[in-house]
């Protein structure tokens, strides 16, 4: 139990996928303008990474490793992730059309979000069991959601502040992201 807790906290906060590994930056910067949209993206990423961790773990352990075709892991993992994203996209289009419209082009970009593939590959690299891989996936995706929602909250507050003209737009967002990364670096001694 202690090992699973260390995996979860480590992947969510200490080794945050966005702020310390710099994976998934595109949706992090693109969708973090409003908290509502950011939380929707965070929820979609939690679902995709968690299910992808489970399915890719089963496929890797049950098929790829058994038949000694581990070299196919990247292609297989991308196909699994693409199928899951299509499922999420169809669900959101039917169940939550406003969120589907708000996420726009960033929803299909989850397929190419290197954070999702990075988790699947990390699970293989660290030789996690399927269950440990799912815990790592949940922790990583919760860390992504936490980072994107915090960033969205900060960006909403920045809109009401006076920012010098040279820092308006992307520069202030990148400075904010770097300050968040420094803040999360403070958790590095936790584990």
pLDDT in tens, 76-118: 999 999 998 898 889 989 998 988 888 877 778 787 788 999 9
Give the model confidence (pLDDT) of 55-69 as tens digits: 999 999 999 999 999
| CA dihedral of 44, 46, 50, 53, whole degrees rounded to 10 | 90
Helix (H) or strand (E) holding 41: helix 35-59
pTM for this one?
A: 0.91
Cβ atoms 34, 133 nearer than 8 A? no
At residue 122, the pLDDT reads 95
Give the number of other Cβ atoms within 10 Å of residue 127's Cβ. Answer: 8
Q: Within 13 Å and on the Cβ side, how many CA atoms surround 42?
A: 24
Rounded-to-integer distance, Cα 155 and Cα 120, Å = 30
Largest CA distance in the chain: 60
């Amino acid at each position: 139990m202690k090992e699973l807790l260390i995996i979860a906290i480590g992947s969510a906060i200490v080794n945050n996928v966005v702020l310390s590994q710099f994976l998934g930056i595109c949706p992090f910067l693109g969708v973090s303008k409003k908290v509502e949209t950011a939380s929707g993206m965070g929820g979609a990423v939690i679902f995709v990474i968690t299910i992808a961790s489970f399915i890719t773990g089963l496929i890797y352990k049950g098929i790829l490793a058994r038949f000694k075709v581990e070299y196919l892991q990247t292609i297989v993992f991308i196909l699994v992730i693409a199928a899951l994203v299509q499922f999420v996209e169809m669900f959101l289009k039917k169940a939550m059309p406003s969120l589907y419209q708000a996420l726009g082009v960033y929803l299909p970009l989850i397929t190419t979000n290197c954070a999702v593939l990075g988790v699947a590959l990390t699970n293989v690299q660290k030789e996690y069991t399927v269950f440990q891989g799912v815990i790592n996936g949940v922790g990583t995706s919760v860390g992504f959601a936490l980072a994107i929602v915090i960033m969205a909250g900060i960006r909403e507050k920045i809109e009401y502040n006076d920012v010098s003209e040279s820092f308006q737009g992307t520069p202030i967002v990148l400075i904010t992201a770097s300050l968040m990364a420094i803040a999360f670096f403070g958790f590095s001694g936790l584990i």
